[in-house]
């Protein structure tokens, strides 16, 4: 894809720190009614029945979570999909037995059974099967889930779907193979009756049924204006995850989809203000750069807190989870921290316990420092001057070329 993508908007483009000030005010308004953790990066409601955050989400925020993309293909074409249009996804080559577009299923099994691997089975708490639409690749999912259930049954298994291909038989097969939770993206079909019926059917079969869907104006209308959240509560939904909208990582513009990414960015622009989300995590233990930068519409996370407020004020017995860009940043910090801990313990296996304990304390201190620098009261807004430096304003509004922004960010990060 060409790198000449320009964002044109009526509003100044915000940095993450600028936007975060709004979210902190929203969190402060609800602080006695919601759970807040990790310096406000994680937030969810507290239902009166005592329902807890999904085990999958708990594993995600602790760093013990892996997402397995079964394949790119999807039977729908969401305007905000960061993986491109339906046509683009179906046109991309795929391996028959590949997961995450690079690992053969046998390689994953070997790693899980290898005690010397970083992500050996004992280090994993949760797996999520995603895509694309994973029900298109159900044979892959079933093959892996059977293996995990048989040899690593401590691992919590989830599958996320738009719900159109769900059937009673498929649900029973997944459940029998050890998949504990199904997550419905109800916004993908604009809350179609077929998907909602399938969700209600899933409550009868699966251990845990949740929704994961982006907070859009349409979702707010369905949940609040049309009382959809009351219907979800009535059928026994456990959790409603609100997955903040965001672009593909702009530090890798060449990997963006020619049509899909531009379409998503144009949709974000129409929603109003935009902000640049920075997730700077440093390097992995293998030396891979982990920093990622996204464009997000401000209204997406604002709607999350509108829905959370409605839920707590109406005593809705469903966990409403702020699955934000912030939370994903925390997940990446936690996963990187976990990898470093595992690596440090192995490298120091010949040392005494006190030495190893000191290494782990040092890694935890680094993690806390990263959280403080990211979201503490004195966090540096390094992104704001970079945005201002490459933005221009005229009579039609504000303009920013992603290629220029990506370059100055790379230069800043070194």
Label residue 101 left, alpha or beta by phi (over 0 means left) and psi (-120 to 50 means alpha). Answer: left
- Provide the residue-wise pLDDT of the chain in tens; the chain has 414 residues: 455 799 999 999 999 999 999 999 999 999 999 999 998 999 999 999 999 999 999 999 888 999 999 999 999 999 999 899 999 999 999 988 999 999 999 999 999 999 989 899 999 999 999 999 999 999 999 999 999 999 999 999 999 999 999 999 999 999 999 999 999 999 999 999 999 999 999 999 999 999 999 999 999 999 999 999 999 999 999 999 999 999 999 999 988 998 999 999 999 999 999 999 999 998 888 788 889 999 999 999 999 999 999 999 999 999 999 999 999 999 999 998 888 888 887 777 666 778 778 878 888 888 888 889 899 888 999 999 999 999 999 999 999 999 999 999 999 998
pLDDT at 80: 96
CB 224 within 8 A of CB 310: yes
Closest CA to 3 of 261, 192, 211: 261
> What residues make up the domain containing 262?
6-413
Provide the H-helix boundaries in 178-293: 193-205, 217-220, 228-235, 260-271
Task: Kindly state whether residue 222 falls inside one of the protein's structural domains.
Answer: yes
pLDDT at 286: 79
Task: Kindly state whether residue 68 falls inside one of the protein's structural domains.
Answer: yes
Task: Kindly state whether residue 128 falls inside one of the protein's structural domains.
Answer: yes
Total count of domains within the chain: 1
Distance (Å, rounded) from C-alpha 8 to C-alpha 365?
41
pLDDT at 287: 80
Q: What is the CA radius of gyration of the chain?
A: 21
pLDDT at 284: 82
pTM of the model: 0.95
Does a cis peptide bond (omega within 30 degrees of 0) precede residue 131?
A: no
Residue 208 CA to its chain's centroid (Å): 19
CA 136 vs CA 89, 169, 179, 183: distances in Å: 13, 15, 16, 16
Provide the H-helix boundaries in 31-167: 55-62, 86-91, 105-113, 138-151
Task: Give the list of residues 6+ apart from residue 332 with CB closer than 8 angstroms, or none.
Answer: 279, 281, 290, 292
Task: Kindly state whether residue 75 falls inside one of the protein's structural domains.
Answer: yes
Task: Kindly state whether residue 1 falls inside one of the protein's structural domains.
Answer: no
Structure tokens at 391: 């933005």
pLDDT at 351: 66
Closest CA to 250 of 78, 79, 1: 1
Task: Kindly state whether residue 382 falls inside one of the protein's structural domains.
Answer: yes
Phi–psi pair at 365, nearest 5 degrees:
-65, -40
Residues making up the chain, counted from first to last: 414
Task: Kindly state whether residue 175 falls inside one of the protein's structural domains.
Answer: yes
Task: Kindly state whether residue 245 falls inside one of the protein's structural domains.
Answer: yes
């Amino acid at each position: 894809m060409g790198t000449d993508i320009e964002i044109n908007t009526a509003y100044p483009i915000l940095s993450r720190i600028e936007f975060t000030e709004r979210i902190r005010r929203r969190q402060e308004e609800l602080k006695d009614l919601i759970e807040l953790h990790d310096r406000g990066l994680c937030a969810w409601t507290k239902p009166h029945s005592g329902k807890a955050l999904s085990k999958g989400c708990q594993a995600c925020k602790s760093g013990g979570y892996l997402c397995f993309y079964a394949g790119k293909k999807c039977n729908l074409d969401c305007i905000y999909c960061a993986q491109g249009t339906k046509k683009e996804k179906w046109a991309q080559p795929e391996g028959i037995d590949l997961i995450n577009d690079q690992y053969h299923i046998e390689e994953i099994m070997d790693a899980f059974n290898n005690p010397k691997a970083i992500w050996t089975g004992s280090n994993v708490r949760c797996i999520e099967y995603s895509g694309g639409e994973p029900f298109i690749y159900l044979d892959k999912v079933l093959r892996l889930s059977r293996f995990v259930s048989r040899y690593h049954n401590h691992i919590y298994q989830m599958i996320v779907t738009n719900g159109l291909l769900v059937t009673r038989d498929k649900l029973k097969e997944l459940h029998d193979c050890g998949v504990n939770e199904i997550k419905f993206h109800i916004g993908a079909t604009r809350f179609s009756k077929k998907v909602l019926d399938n969700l209600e059917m899933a409550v009868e079969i699966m251990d845990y049924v949740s929704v994961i869907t982006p907070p859009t104006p349409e979702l707010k209308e369905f949940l609040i204006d049309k009382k959809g959240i009351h219907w979800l509560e009535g059928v026994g939904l456990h959790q409603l995850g609100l997955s903040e909208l965001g672009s593909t990582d702009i530090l890798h513009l060449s990997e963006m989809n020619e049509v899909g990414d531009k379409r998503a960015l144009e949709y974000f622009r129409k929603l109003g203000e935009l902000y640049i989300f920075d997730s700077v995590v440093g390097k992995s233990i293998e030396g891979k750069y982990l920093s990622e930068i996204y464009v997000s519409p401000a209204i997406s996370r604002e709607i999350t807190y509108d829905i959370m407020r409605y839920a707590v004020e109406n005593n809705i017995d469903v966990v409403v989870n702020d699955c934000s860009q912030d939370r994903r940043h925390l997940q990446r910090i936690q996963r990187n921290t976990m990898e470093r801990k595992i690596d440090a313990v192995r490298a120091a296996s010949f040392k005494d316990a006190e030495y190893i304990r000191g290494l782990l304390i040092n890694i935890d201190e680094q993690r806390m420092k990263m959280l403080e620098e990211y979201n503490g009261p004195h966090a540096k807004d390094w992104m704001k001057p970079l945005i201002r430096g490459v933005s221009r304003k005229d009579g039609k509004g504000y303009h920013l070329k992603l290629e220029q922004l990506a370059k100055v960010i790379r230069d800043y990060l070194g």
